[in-house]
C-alpha cells in the first residue's frame, strides 16, 4: 500500500503530461492540415437575365447603386469593388488595420451563397434569386460588439479566416455580411 501511495503522484503527473502532449500533437496536425488546404475556387457567375420588369423586392439595406436597369445583375463587379472600397467591410480589418482583400465577386443563386456561408439563411428571398456574393480573405481581425463595457477591461479581438458580403443582384441591397472561422 505504501508503494502505491508513493508512486501515485508520479504516475498521475506522467499521465497528465502524456495527455497534454497528445492534445498538442493533434492540434499541430490539425493546424498543419488547415494551412495546406487551399481555398476552393470562386463560384462561376449565373447567366445574366435581361428585360426584368418586375419591381425589385425590398429586402436588405440600400447599398450598391443600380447601373444596369432592367437586367440581373443590375450592377457590375466594378460597382461592387467601388462600393467596398468606399464603405469598407463591416466584419473587421487586417491586423495592420486595412481592408481585407476581396478574393472573389460572384453572381450566383441564393442557395449557392447560403452553402458558401455554411448554412446562413437568405430565406427572405425567393428560391433561385441571383445574389452577389463577395468573399474576403483573412486573417480578419474584429472586436466583439456584443461584449458589455467593463471598466478597465480591454476586449480581445477575434481572428477569422474569411468574410463575406451578400447583395441582392436585382437592386444592390446589402442582405448579409459575416465572418467564418478557421
The answer on 158 and 90 residing in a single domain is yes
Give the separation between CA 40 and CA 62, rounded to whole angstroms: 30
C-beta separation of 62 from 134 below 8 A? no
Residue 88 lies in a domain: yes
Residue 24 lies in a domain: yes
CA angle 104/105/107 to nearest 5° reads: 135
The answer on 147 and 167 residing in a single domain is yes
Please report which residue ranges of the chain form alpha helices under DSSP H: 2-36, 77-87, 110-116
Predicted pLDDT at 32: 41
The answer on 32 and 54 residing in a single domain is no
The answer on 60 and 9 residing in a single domain is no
pTM flag (> 0.75): no
Give the separation between CA 68 and CA 101, rounded to whole angstroms: 26
Predicted pLDDT at 31: 43
Specify the long-range contacts of residues 117-126, CB closer than 8 Å, at least 24 apart: 117/164, 117/166, 117/176, 117/178, 117/180, 118/180, 120/176, 120/178, 122/166, 122/175, 122/176, 124/59, 124/175, 125/57, 125/59, 125/168, 125/175, 126/57
Specify the long-range contacts of residues 151-154, CB closer than 8 Å, at least 24 apart: none
Domain of 25, in residue numbers: 1-37
C-beta separation of 172 from 130 below 8 A? no
Q: Give the list of residues 6+ apart from residue 49 with CB closer than 8 angstroms, or none.
A: 71, 72, 130
The answer on 57 and 11 residing in a single domain is no
- Which residues in the chain show pLDDT less than 50? 4-5, 12, 14-21, 23-36, 53-56
The answer on 167 and 103 residing in a single domain is yes
Task: Read off the pLDDT of residues 57-102 as tens digits, 9 standing for 90 and up.
Answer: 568 999 999 999 999 999 999 999 999 999 999 988 988 889 999 9
Amino acid at each position: 500500500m505504501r508503494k502505491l501511495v508513493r508512486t501515485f503522484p508520479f504516475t498521475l503527473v506522467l499521465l497528465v503530461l502524456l495527455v497534454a502532449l497528445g492534445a498538442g500533437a493533434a492540434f499541430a496536425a490539425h493546424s498543419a492540415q488547415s494551412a495546406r488546404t487551399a481555398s476552393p475556387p470562386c463560384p462561376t457567375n449565373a447567366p445574366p437575365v435581361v428585360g426584368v420588369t418586375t419591381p425589385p423586392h425590398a429586402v436588405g439595406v440600400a447599398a450598391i447603386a443600380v447601373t444596369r436597369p432592367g437586367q440581373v445583375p443590375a450592377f457590375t463587379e466594378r460597382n461592387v469593388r467601388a462600393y467596398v472600397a468606399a464603405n469598407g467591410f463591416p466584419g473587421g480589418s487586417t491586423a495592420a488595420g486595412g481592408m481585407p482583400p476581396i478574393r472573389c465577386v460572384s453572381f450566383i443563386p441564393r442557395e449557392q451563397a447560403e452553402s458558401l456561408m455554411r448554412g446562413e439563411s437568405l430565406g427572405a428571398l425567393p428560391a433561385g434569386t441571383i445574389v452577389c456574393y463577395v468573399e474576403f480573405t483573412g486573417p480578419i481581425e474584429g472586436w466583439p460588439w456584443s461584449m458589455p463595457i467593463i471598466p478597465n477591461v480591454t476586449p480581445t479581438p477575434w481572428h477569422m479566416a474569411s468574410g463575406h458580403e451578400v447583395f441582392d443582384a436585382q437592386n444592390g441591397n446589402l442582405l448579409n455580411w459575416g465572418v467564418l472561422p478557421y
